[in-house]
Amino acid sequence: MSNKLINIHNDFHGYNELLKFYNINKDKFFDDIEVILEEWFDANLSALLGGTLDKIQNDGLNSINFIYLSPNIQTILQKNNFLSFYGYNKRDDTYHSTIEYKKFKPSDSRYFHQYLEDDLLNHTRFPNMSDVLHEKISESIHEMFVNAQIHSETDFIYTCGQYFYQRNEINFTIVDTGIGFAKRIQKDLGFEISSSQAITWAMIDGNTTKQGVSGGLGLIILKEFIMNNQGKIQIVSGDAFYELQNKKENIKKLDAYLDGSVISMTFKTNDTKTYNFSDEKEKLNIDDIF
């Protein structure tokens, strides 16, 4: 039976459909998994599709076949290199609208830094993006990548993104197929907790599962920045979908379960705030650090 993924956007419905597809197929053995992508597929979700297809593929026990791709979807997924992992050729991305799909081992820090600098942050199509904004975006992405490296117990970290020139936005999505928020808390702190509760807890300043060392600042710093920047954060882990947009947080329960987590960040590139740290400086008095 083929699996149809139709009109998949970077929203609750899109994640829900992708995860239903994953849950239907994840326990199969020696099977041909046929996939159809139709109408629309937001390119950044390649990171989630790639991560879940690797799980479904189960180290080669199942084979994945894209039996139909709408031409517009095929083009973008060849441009962002996603389809190269499934036997297609890479296509030139003349207008540089995609941020390449990548699959990193958690130990691949240097390779990730290079990719971030070369592919994402030194991008010439955003000439008006201020250096400070560049730095804030870079630090947000680094914080989220290191979280996946240290907390997730994943085999790989999948990343992808997209530029939206007309909307002045960059999206960057980081996916792991590891333990997820709720099981991390259960394992480290011994509490049975729902995925929604786990995300809610992780979004509070200073909350960390680390033992003997403080932490829990990365997500908070990201949240503060996104609220100022008027961007968007989406987090998916287990059966929970969290979204922060227009300074409002919302959590919903998905119909299916992700083993792992998604952090999807959307940044406004025409943000002219100076982020000169004056407010933070006044609050924090950085001349008296210790």
Partner 1 sequence: MDRIKIDIFSIVGQKNCTLPEDGDKVFRALERGLKEEKQILISFKNVEKLTTAFLNNAIGKLYKDFDEEKIKQSLSVVELSDSGKVRLKRVVNNAKNYFKNPDRMRESIREILGEDDGE
Which range, of 72-80, 92-100, 139-147, 257-265, touches partner 1 by CB under 8 A? 139-147
Per CB under 8 A, contacts with partner 1 among 47-86 are none
By CB under 8 A, name the one of 74, 209, 228, 245 that touches partner 1: 209
Closest contact distance (angstroms) between CB of 58 and partner 1 is: 30
Closest contact distance (angstroms) between CB of 88 and partner 1 is: 33
187 touching partner 1, by CB under 8 A: no
Crossing angle (nearest 10°) for helices 12-25 and 46-57: 10
Which range, of 94-102, 106-114, 160-168, 170-178, touches partner 1 by CB under 8 A? 106-114
Q: What is the strand order of the sheet 2-8 is part of?
A: 2-8, 32-41, 63-69
By CB under 8 A, name the one of 39, 215, 255, 272 that touches partner 1: 215
Q: Which is nearer to partner 1, 35 or 235 (CB)?
A: 235
**Rounded to whole angstroms, how far apart are CA atoms 245 and 243?**
6
* Bridge partners, residue 160, by sequence: 173
261 touching partner 1, by CB under 8 A: no
Q: Which residues bind partner 1 (CB under 8 A)?
A: 109-110, 113, 132, 135-136, 138-139, 142-143, 145-147, 149-150, 185, 189, 191, 193-194, 196-197, 200-201, 204-210, 212-218, 221, 251, 253, 276-277, 280-281, 284-286, 289-290
